[in-house]
Amino acid sequence: MTRRMTTSLTTLAATGFLASMAAAQGFNDAPPHGAAYDQTPAFEGQTRAPVLEAGDVAVTQTVIAGGLEHPWGLVQLPDASWLVTERPGRMRIVAEDGTLSEPIEGLPEVDARDQGGLHDVSVASDFAETRRVWWTYAEPRGDGENATAVATGILSEDGTTMEEVNVIWQQQPAWASTKHFGARIVHDGEGHIFVGLGERSDPEPRVYAQDPQSTLGKIIRINAEDGTPAGAGIEGALPEIWSMGHRNIQGAAMSPDGQLWMNEHGPRGGDELNLIEAGINYGWPEATYGTDYDGSEMGQTEVEGTQQPVYYWDPSPALSGMTFYEGEMFPDWQGQALLGGLRSADIIRLDIQDGAVVGEARHAQGIGRVREVEVAQDGALMVIIDEEDGQMIRITPEG
C-alpha cells in the first residue's frame, strides 16, 4: 500500500498535566443562559452534577498522526490500525505507528459544504473475516439539496479500495441546508444498526423532527446488510423510525449493560444526554433547555408526551462522539461514559448509575475540538481533533 508519513508519536509538550486538576478548573462556573427565563431542571442531578474526584489523574497526550483535514469518525481495526474519516470525503488508515495511508478509493461523492461531508465509520465485529465497513455522509441530491445517507462496502485486502459499495439508506426529505446531519452509527449486536440523525437546523425543516413521516430529527434502526427497516413499530410512522424529536445527534454508544445512549446539540445551551428507548419522543423543537442564538426563549423545558433528557448542559460544551470506558489503563473510569467536547475542548467523563448522572469530570482540557473519542485495544484513549490540520492523539495515564 502506498503510504506517506506524518507527525508520529510526538509527545505534546506541557500537556501531561492538563487533566490532573479537573476538579479545580471550574467547568460549572459560567451562569446558564436559561437562567434569564427562570429555567430549572425537572429533577435533581439533571444538570451540573457534582465534580468527580475519583479518577482525576494526570494524563500524557501523544500525537499519533497529524495532517488530517477535519477528521470526524474513528474506529480501530483488529490489527490495531485505525480507520478515520475526513469531512471533505476521504477515508484513511492510520497504522499503529502513525503512518497515514493515501485516501481509500471507491467512496461515493459527498456534499462537503460547511457541516456536510464524510461522517461516521464503523466495522463489522467479524471484520477480520468479512472486511465489512459502514459509513454515513452528506449525500448530494441536486439543486443544492442534500441529506444523510448510509453506505456499506468491503475494504480490499490491501486497504486501498472500498469494493461492493452499496447505499443502503437515504434520509428523507432532502433539504437545501449545510447543517445538522447528525450521523452517528451504533450496532445493536443483532444484525441492525442505529443511526442518529439531525433535523437540518433551519426553522422550516426543524419542525419535521416531530413528523413521523419524515426521518429528519430521528433515530432509525435498519438491517445492517441491506437497510431494511427495523424500527420501533410506531403507529403512523415510517417503519425505520426508532425515536423522534431530536435536534442534532453527535455522539452515540451502547453501554456495557446493553442500553443505547446518544447525545445531541442544543441551540444556545441545552446540549442533551438521552437514554434511547423505542417509540419515545424526545421533544425537539417543542421541548428544550436551550435558548435561541439571539438569546430569545425557545419552546418549553417540559412538554407533555415528551421525554426529559437524563442530563443537560448550559452553556453547551458542543458535545461530540462518545463511548463507555472498558479497559485497564484507567481503572476508576470503568463503565463510565466519555464524551468529546468541541467548544469545551476536552473529554467529558460521566458516572452514570441506575440511569442517572451522579458525577462529571473534565480531562485533557484545552486539547482542541474533540470530534470523537474511542477506547483502544490496550485501554488507552484515542481522540481526533476537528481542525483543518487535525490530529489523532493517544491519551494515557501519566507515567
| Residue among 33, 70, 119, 180 flagged as catalytic | 180
Instruction: For residues 90-101, give the mean pLDDT.
Output: 97
Indicate the pLDDT class of residue 144, thresholds 50, 70 and 90: very high
What does the block give as the cell for 187?
Answer: 450496532
Higher pLDDT, 24 or 58: 58
pTM: 0.94
**Would you say 225 and 124 are in contact if contact means Cβ atoms under 8 Å apart?**
no
pLDDT > 70 in the chain, percent: 94
Whether residue 98 is predicted with pLDDT greater than 90 in this model: the reply is yes
Instruction: Give residue 125's identity as a one-letter amino acid code.
Output: S
**Would you say 260 and 228 are in contact if contact means Cβ atoms under 8 Å apart?**
no
**Would you say 48 and 317 are in contact if contact means Cβ atoms under 8 Å apart?**
no
**Would you say 361 and 55 are in contact if contact means Cβ atoms under 8 Å apart?**
yes
Q: What is the mean pLDDT of the chain?
A: 94
Whether residue 30 is predicted with pLDDT greater than 80 in this model: the reply is yes
Instruction: For residues 334-346, give the mean pLDDT.
Output: 98
**Would you say 198 and 182 are in contact if contact means Cβ atoms under 8 Å apart?**
yes
Known active-site residue 180? yes
Tens of pLDDT, residues 118-140: 999 999 999 999 999 999 999 99
pLDDT of the residue at 166: 98
272: Cβ contacts below 8 Å, ≥ 6 apart: 247, 263, 264, 266, 282, 289, 309, 311, 312, 313
Residue carrying the nine cell digits 482540557: 365
- DSSP class per residue in 59-118: EEEEEEEEEESSEEEEEE-TTS-EEEEETTTEEEEE-TT--EEPPPB-PPP---STT-SE
